[in-house]
Structure 1
């Protein structure tokens, strides 16, 4: 394995990780909630505490535009068609139901709380991701 030193950007990655950690800690400490995106999104369908959920999802959706305003050079691109994106989204949705949560809930929040269930789920997510990349890049 080699590192593409031209694309290696540890400072922005560290800053992003710190922002995620701060947001997760604030939501837990100030609101008593776990920042699992699938649970937050799924909770929009139930009656009750919708305002904070809408604000959280709104922040997720607005952040790429805020980044584009702050740093026009940082452009994200997705090299996939709509059918692939929709299929991938549905598969991720099914996986979050089977895994009783998503990567943010288990990988960020669960691991920080030393949850054994989250450790197993995160290992399964990572193994499935590695296998998918291997199949798509090397076998297909």
Structure 2
């Protein structure tokens, strides 16, 4: 009887607001990815979408490969940002705030940017599109992302670092 109740207790602690919003969000992300792929033949990884915006300001061939599809990629990227903002206002009662120091946010963003280049894509691209298409590289990438994130979180916690 205790064994049966344990998963529900753990679930309630991990997801105090329930899991339905996460399940719906995951289904919508997956559906959006499928629609984009079927409509364009392009995987919907966010780092590529953000990289495509550089084609507006750079003549480098690396960025110019996106010129023919950059407009809808910008709309997609803005949709991610605006969707998060609307969710925050409607369901959380306002914009997000954080106690994290600005220099830490900047440094973290820099590390994420470097990681997306070294990892040949972002967590959303590998996690949603790559794993969804059974890419061995993406599966290994996602396992690496998770392992590094878990280790980093444990080290930061052990060192007593706070925002």
TM-score in same-fold range (> 0.5): yes
Q: Max radius of gyration: which structure?
A: 2
4+ residue segments displaced more than 2 Å = 68-79
**How many residues align structurally?**
140
Deviations 1:99-125 (A, max 9, x none): 101111111100111100001111110
Q: Tell me how large the CA RMSD over aligned residues is.
A: 2.1
- Of Structure 1 and Structure 2, the greater helix share is in 2
TM-score (normalised: structure 1): 0.89
Q: Indicate how the Cα distance of structure 1 residues 76 and 4 shifts in structure 2: closer, same or farther if over 3 A, else same.
A: farther
Q: Indicate how the Cα distance of structure 1 residues 5 and 57 shifts in structure 2: closer, same or farther if over 3 A, else same.
A: closer
TM-score (normalised: structure 2): 0.77
1:70 pairs with 90, 97, 114, which one? 90
Q: Shift in Å at residue 95 of structure 1?
A: 0.6
The aligned residue for residue 37 of structure 1 is 46
Relative CO higher for 1 or 2, CA cutoff 8 Å, sep ≥ 6?
1
Q: Shift in Å at residue 83 of structure 1?
A: 0.8
Q: Indicate how the Cα distance of structure 1 residues 86 and 5 shifts in structure 2: closer, same or farther if over 3 A, else same.
A: closer
Q: Shift in Å at residue 33 of structure 1?
A: 1.0
1:50-65 residue pairs with structure 2 within 5 A? Answer: 50-65=70-85
